[in-house]
Amino acid sequence: MLDMLGDHWLVILAVFIGLAVLWIVAVLSKYVRLMLNIIRDTPSFLLNPVDYELIEGRKVNFRAFDGTLLQGMYMRADFPSASAVEEMGRQYTEGMDRNGRYISPDSRGVIIFCHEYGSDMHSWARYCNVLRKSGFDIFTFDFRSHGQSGRLSDYEPRFWCTDKEVSDCLGALALVQTQLEEENRDLPIGFLGISRGGCAALMTAAAAPKDSSLKAVLTDGAFSTDTLLELFMKRWVHIFARVRFVYEHHHQQFWHFLRWLLLKFARIRFHCSFPSVRKNLRRIKHQAVFFIHGQKDSYIPQEQAHRLYELSALPRYLWIVPGAKHNQSVAADATLYNALTVGFFERYLGSSSLENSRIPEPYREKVISLFDREESIISSTLFEEAQEYVDTGDRILGGAGRQTSAEEVRAVPGTVPQSSASTSAKHLAD
């Protein structure tokens, strides 16, 4: 018997190793399938009523780069007061002047607004109305399966940014560029994105062609899916895994591998890819980036913003807002938020000076000086008049003047067959 074992020890060893590998694969695949719930489940934010005025502009339909039908809205910088709109009637209510132009004659540039998960295009008024009043035109749109945009039958939106949202943003950018060309206007374009919308905006900048008019990207609450997902896996894997081997005392490379495996499973299960903001930042070379993040964001740690900032090329800026939770920086200190937002886009979509700047007082001089530098981690203590911060709680907005349930987000009209995806979006790094 011993002689037989000695003669076939290589075969026995190979069988033993094979069985061990199969066991490991079976365990990992089981728990990876269970951990798909991290991606499948939406974040546990409260859906609260919105705190902005519902302002209508000129509605337009357009296509994402994969053919999905989306709806957007132009808000001109010279949009009149409510009383003037009532006098002018429906034509101006839809944001069109007598010549049918979408962009106002004296526009300083166009800001494309990308709303957060669970909201809609009307939430632009919460973050961008000060930009419109400062002379920038706004283009806002509903991501697929939100508001009045269409949806694909095999895709359900989630908190995590996918190639579908990047396709939506690329379609919005192409629409604005086409409109500027048709109106014979040479204006710069910027993105302002909230949470998942900010992730999509950053990856759109990475995928945008070199001759794009896109010059600047501002995000509020952005994150990188891969690193945030890895954080959640470490935090929650013990709930799914009864075998302690799966989650205890492992090298960091183990978690990288497990996250990679989970995203591969997710791509097949959810019919979409989950590109990495972290990896794609290196491709953003011609746009300025500004990261805003709440210090007390209990869902997306502020370390996410610090890491994205460090990976970005110049010019780059970071503001961690004291006391603010997720998507609540604008509520924590609206005056400073507005001043920095206007100052950033004035600097990179035009020329700002004390003479023609529309940065709100009392921060004008300090903000202009701040953006004269190519990089800065902004401290609120730089501004003597900084207001007292308000803890408003983590939340996702629920649409204009109402609450939005998960069922409402999914129940949208217009299923559109999927066509070929854009080459740019395909080559984003997962």
Task: Decide: helix, strand or coil at residue 210.
Answer: coil
Which residues on adjacent β-strands are paired with residue 294?
Answer: 321
Q: Alpha carbon of 3 to those of 7, 11, 16, 226, 397: distances in Å? A: 6, 14, 19, 52, 73
Euclidean distance between CA atoms 425 and 404, whole angstroms: 29
390 has pLDDT over 60: no
Average pLDDT, the chain: 79
- The per-residue pLDDT for 235 is 72
Is 201 a residue whose pLDDT tops 90? Answer: yes
Residue 20: is its pLDDT beyond 70? no
Q: Are 216 and 108 in contact (CB under 8 A)?
A: no
pLDDT digits (tens, 9 = 90+) for 67-83: 999 999 999 988 764 44
pLDDT at 64 over 70: yes
State the span(s) of the chain assigned CATH 3.40.50.1820. 48-222+283-426
The pLDDT tens digits for 225-278 are 988 988 887 776 655 555 555 555 555 667 777 788 888 888 888 889 999 999
pLDDT of residue 389: 40
The pLDDT-based confidence of 420 (bands split at 50, 70, 90) is very low
Q: Is the pLDDT of residue 188 over 60?
A: yes
Token pair in block for residue 199:
């992730």
Q: What separation in angstroms does the CA of 289 have from each of 44, 190, 211, 397?
A: 28, 10, 18, 24
Cα 101 → chain centroid: 29
Model confidence pLDDT, tens digit, residues 202-220: 999 999 877 789 999 999 9
Residue 31 DSSP symbol = H
**Of 81, 72, 78, the residue nearest 53 (C-alpha):** 81
Q: What is the pLDDT of residue 102?
A: 87
pLDDT 10s digits, 293-338: 999 998 899 999 999 999 999 999 999 999 998 888 998 889 999 9
How far apart are the C-alpha atoms of 136 and 349, rounded to whole Å? 9
Beta strand residue intervals within 100-234, DSSP E: 110-114, 137-141, 189-194, 214-220
The tens digit of pLDDT for each residue in 347-388 reads: 999 877 767 889 988 888 899 999 999 999 998 777 755 444
Mean pLDDT of 160-172: 96
Q: What is the pLDDT of residue 88?
A: 52
Residue 227 neighbours by CB distance under 10 Å: 18
- Bridge pairing between strands 69-75 and 137-141: antiparallel
Nearest C-alpha neighbor of 163 from the set 275, 282, 284, 279: 275
Q: What is the third-level CATH fold of 48-222+283-426?
A: Rossmann fold (3.40.50)
CB of 294 closer than 8 Å to CB of 319: no
> What whole-number distance in Å separates Cα of residue 391 and Cα of residue 38?
27
Give pLDDT tens digits for 21-38.
Answer: 665 555 566 666 667 777
Q: What is the distance between the alpha carbons of residues 363 and 382, in angstroms, rounded to a whole number?
A: 10
Give pLDDT, residue 122.
Answer: 93
Please tell me what DSSP assigns to residue 158.
-
C-beta separation of 219 from 201 below 8 A: yes
